[in-house]
Amino acid sequence: MSCFHKHPKRTKSEELAFQEQQKKVAQENGKRVGLEGDLDLQFLLVGGPLVKICSNSWKKNRYYKLQEDCQTFWHESKKKFKKTQTFSILDIESVRKGRQSEGLKKYTDASVEDRCFSIFFKGRKKNLDLMAKSEEELNKWVTGLEKIINNMHNLSDQKKREHWIISCLRKADKNGDNKMTLKELKHFMRQINVDVSDTYAAEIFKKCDISHSGTLEGSEITEFYHMLTYREEIDVIYAKYAQTEAQMSARDLLNFLLNEQREQVTEEDAHRLIEKYEVDQTAKQKKHMTKDGFLMYLQQEDGCILKPTHKFEYQDMDQPLSHYYISSSHNTYLMEDQLKGPSSTEAYIKALMKSCRCVELDCWDGVNGEPVIYHGHTLTSKVLFKDVIKVIKEYAFKTSEYPVILSLENHCSVDQQKLMAHYLISILGDALVKKPLGDTMPTNFPSPKALKGKILIKGKRLNKLDAVFTSNKVVEDETVSEEDEAAECKENSEKPKPKKTKIKLARELSDMVIYCKSVHFNGFEHARDNQAFYEMSSFKESKAFHLAETSATAFIHHNMDKLSRIYPAGSRTDSSNYNPVPMWNVGCQIVALNFQTPSKEMHLNQGRFRPNGFCGYILKPEFQRSLSSQFDPNTLTKGPWLKKKIFHIMVISAQQLPKVNRDKHKNKSIVDPLVRVEIHGVQADNGSKETNYIDNNGFNPTWNEGFQFPISVPELALVRFVVEDHDTASQNDFIGQYCLPLTSAQNGYRHVPLLTKRGDVISSASLFVHLMLIDAQ
């Protein structure tokens, strides 16, 4: 049962030859993904039956197998017009063993735990809940899938491109004879997003058809592939520096690294790059780099726009918590909008796996005495508080070991609050911070490093923190005013507008609030004179933006030793986001965004937290931490923040841009790409410039257009690249984006990876640019 496609009629000998060919193809692709002869891969290529689970009544046997490209998963379907269904390995976000999805918990019994697994996809595609025949088979499915996902993820960009092109060639080979006719070649060109005239297609076909057989096969297809992937711009750069026997010696490569890439390196570093990237053994022995090795270097992390050292944790993590920007989510439980969207534990998993370090829990009384989480006074679905805490316990530290803050918006009765406290203690165990670190009353926050693996509770507290160290346990008042955001939630839903309500607070829950006690904001002067470091305020976006415009320096000083949380206005019923940059400019740490909404604002958030190992914490610039600082992002005066630069950028080319789904019923049209470069920082630095569009070429468009931006405060600037499909009649369609801090960008010739609207990598697509950040005269 090795292939389920509808084949043209074949004789017995043709069928045997075809099956043999399919085995060879699978073998080649297995080798390409680094799993040659792997038994788990062989198991997936043969495939087998699994029970697909959709509800209590819908549990059906379906046959699943990996196709010969080692990249596409096939499964049978009983739908009338959809006999087969496929999905790409590259679309899988994670594979999870056991009953970890909401569906499996709901529709299966605990006794089949060791036979169940779920495949979760990137974006909004519904997860796949499956059950194997035995635990042994389950392990083969999960291990095999994880191996391929990891190996595909770790392939070099060149290998990814090769893999992608070869799989496109196979799709274009309609009759599966491993030969390519002129008609199939034209179909292939459209698949890879390039529109060519019939004359040009015939011309390259003729050039490659050395055997004059009227089809391309074997080495002729290889030759066609090389013609297709030829990049003139790389040739020009390479030729300029390859001064030794038409190759780059280590000395030539060093000249390139010093002059073009502006890197502070030695000949020893050039040797290291040759050793790492050169593919030709003879050249490697001579300590030379061929053009193929040079392209390999440019496409890997050393040639990527993000500084390789910034890809990992490189900042000082021993400063107080208030000295860091903290990746933060708003309404974390929502999968979609905040009026009627579903609430789900899955939303917490997605946020935590993106290194979000502050998640929000809106807690309400539920039936059967069980507290629930949902968006109050709306039609959003509910999820159990205890289920959310279990998920947080499991996923909090999978992508980052630094502390997670649980921002509680508490609307519960005292009884259900006590139950919340019980769940927090019993489920989180030692990870929960229940008292200050050390034996004496602290005067400042501990550092992210000191809080590794710890979970902090943000919420209301009945008394001062020093009560922990005294025998005086007196509670001044059993009631506290509701959280600002909680009160606003009620104001939006109830008329007439009530006075700020008070709620009874359970002592057990109050005692868990250590470093993040919620208090109402009464002005910067009041906060300076009356607020302890651990007392923090939440600001609605409109209030925060007003303060950032009118009292920026005071806001920055407030944020040096206290935390501030900013949240979107309740009127954003579609869960849209505000611009986080002005909030970072005044040193706000917890700038909470709707992670479930793909948007430009989320791209900026992802860019801000991309460096430092994507750990969810970024150290603020020194001028936002020093008490003597008089920095004001709105009125730039002289100071350590003012480091005037000119940012030069040349947008050279793009590689393998994906098509845009304009009309699902027609063959998707070829894109007309353009690139926009944006700077986001202090007001004086904000800017945007774009290239012209290229007609009908998403495969290898070339622009060679240069721009420059004056930069005043580089430490707060982010650069964002956006690729769009030009449309004269309507709004341009989004193709891809990438964002990073300007100080994390490498100079010189660099490849820029491209990400989807949701922030996932678009495999094999990239931009090629030249950039230079230099001191202004």
The string of DSSP codes covering 672-732 is -EEEEEEEESSGGG-EEEEPPP-TTBSSS-EEEEEEEEEES-GGG-EEEEEEEE--SSSPP
Closest CA to 388 of 102, 96, 99: 102
Structure tokens that stand for 676 in this block? 């926009």
What is the tens place of the pLDDT at every residue in 143-190? 999 988 888 777 766 666 666 666 666 667 766 667 788 888 777 777
pLDDT number for residue 443: 93
Kindly state the helix (H) or strand (E) to which residue 419 belongs, with its residue range. Answer: helix 414-428
Locus of tokens 């894109």: 671
Centre a 10 Å sphere on the Cβ of residue 80 and count the other Cβ atoms it contains: 6
619, 654: one domain: no
Burial class (CB in 10 A: 0-12, 13-18, 19+), 730: exposed
- Nearby residues of 446 by Cβ (< 8 Å), 6 or more positions away: 320, 321, 437, 515
Alpha-carbon span 519 to 565, nearest angstrom: 11
Where is the binding site for Ca(2+), in residues?
Answer: 331, 360, 362, 409, 670, 672, 696, 725, 727
Q: Where a domain ends, among 139, 154, 169?
A: 154
CB 66 within 8 A of CB 147: no
In a domain, 3, yes or no: no
Where is the binding site for substrate, in residues?
Answer: 52-79, 458, 460, 538, 565
In a domain, 556, yes or no: yes
Catalytic residue status for 375: yes
Cis, bond preceding 496 (omega within 30 deg of 0): yes
User: Distance of CA 614 to CAs 186, 229, 351, 443, 457, Å?
Assistant: 42, 33, 13, 29, 23
In a domain, 678, yes or no: yes
Burial class (CB in 10 A: 0-12, 13-18, 19+), 18: middle
Centre a 10 Å sphere on the Cβ of residue 384 and count the other Cβ atoms it contains: 16
238, 349: one domain: no
Q: Where a domain ends, among 126, 154, 182?
A: 154
Compute the Cα dihedral for 250, 256, 259, 265 and give only its sign: negative
Alpha-carbon span 601 to 599, nearest angstrom: 5
Catalytic residue status for 310: no
Start-to-end CA span in the chain (Å): 70
Where is the binding site, in residues?
Answer: 52-79, 331, 360, 362, 409, 458, 460, 538, 565, 670, 672, 696, 725, 727
User: C-alpha angle 227/230/235, rounded to 5°?
Assistant: 140
Question: For residue 698, how far is the Cα from the chain centroid?
Answer: 23
CB 679 within 8 A of CB 742: yes
Alpha-carbon span 167 to 26, nearest angstrom: 11
**Which member of 330, 558, 603, 680 is catalytic?**
330
411, 533: one domain: yes
443, 557: one domain: yes
172, 81: one domain: no
**Which member of 288, 323, 375, 603 is catalytic?**
375
Alpha-carbon span 462 to 365, nearest angstrom: 21
177, 149: one domain: no
pTM of the model: 0.86
User: Distance of CA 304 to CAs 377, 565, 613, 745, Å?
Assistant: 48, 34, 15, 9
Reduce the secondary structure of 133-202 to three states and give it as a string. CCHHHHHHHHHHHHHHHHHHHHCCHHHHHHHHHHHHHHHHCCCCCCCECHHHHHHHHHHCCECCCHHHHH
Q: Give SS3 for 236.
A: helix
pLDDT number for residue 46: 87
Alpha-carbon span 209 to 201, nearest angstrom: 12
CB 620 within 8 A of CB 646: no
| CATH code for the domain in which residue 169 is found | 1.10.238.10
Q: What is the CA radius of gyration of the chain?
A: 29
pLDDT number for residue 391: 96
- Nearby residues of 72 by Cβ (< 8 Å), 6 or more positions away: 66, 86, 87, 88, 89, 167
CB 542 within 8 A of CB 485: no
461, 599: one domain: yes
673, 724: one domain: yes
Low-confidence residues of the chain: pLDDT under 50: 1-7, 490-498, 664-667
Residue 617: phi, psi to the nearest 5?
-130, 130
Q: Give SS3 for 480.
A: strand
| CATH code for the domain in which residue 752 is found | 2.60.40.150
Structure tokens that stand for 332 in this block? 């974390």
Backbone dihedral region for residue 47 (phi beyond 0: left; psi -120 to 50: alpha; all else: beta): left
237, 346: one domain: no
The total number of structural domains that make up the chain: 5
Centre a 10 Å sphere on the Cβ of residue 124 and count the other Cβ atoms it contains: 10
In a domain, 406, yes or no: yes
User: C-alpha angle 365/339/394, rounded to 5°?
Assistant: 60
Alpha-carbon span 646 to 175, nearest angstrom: 56
Alpha-carbon span 102 to 507, nearest angstrom: 32
Range of the domain at 569: 321-466+477-624
Pseudo-torsion of CA 29, 32, 35, 40, nearest 10°?
-30
595, 511: one domain: yes
What letter represents residue 166's amino acid? I
Q: What is the DSSP string of 566-631?
A: EE--TT-TT-----SHHHHHTT-SEEEE-TTS-SHHHHHHHHHTSTGGG-SEEEPPGGGT-TT---
Per-residue exposure over 352-381, b if at least 16 CB sit within 10 Å of its own CB, e if not: bebbbbbbbbbbbebeeeebbbbbeebebb
In a domain, 472, yes or no: no
Structure tokens that stand for 334 in this block? 């929502």
In a domain, 198, yes or no: yes
| CATH code for the domain in which residue 36 is found | 2.30.29.30
What letter represents residue 245's amino acid? E
Q: Where a domain ends, among 171, 200, 228?
A: 228
Alpha-carbon span 32 to 91, nearest angstrom: 19
In a domain, 20, yes or no: yes
224, 240: one domain: no
20, 166: one domain: no
pLDDT number for residue 616: 97
Structure tokens that stand for 544 in this block? 């925060």
pLDDT number for residue 531: 95
| CATH code for the domain in which residue 594 is found | 3.20.20.190
In a domain, 65, yes or no: yes
CB 410 within 8 A of CB 509: yes
Question: For residue 121, how far is the Cα from the chain centroid?
Answer: 13
CB 514 within 8 A of CB 434: yes
**Helices of type H across 229-384:** 232-241, 250-259, 267-277, 281-285, 291-299, 345-353
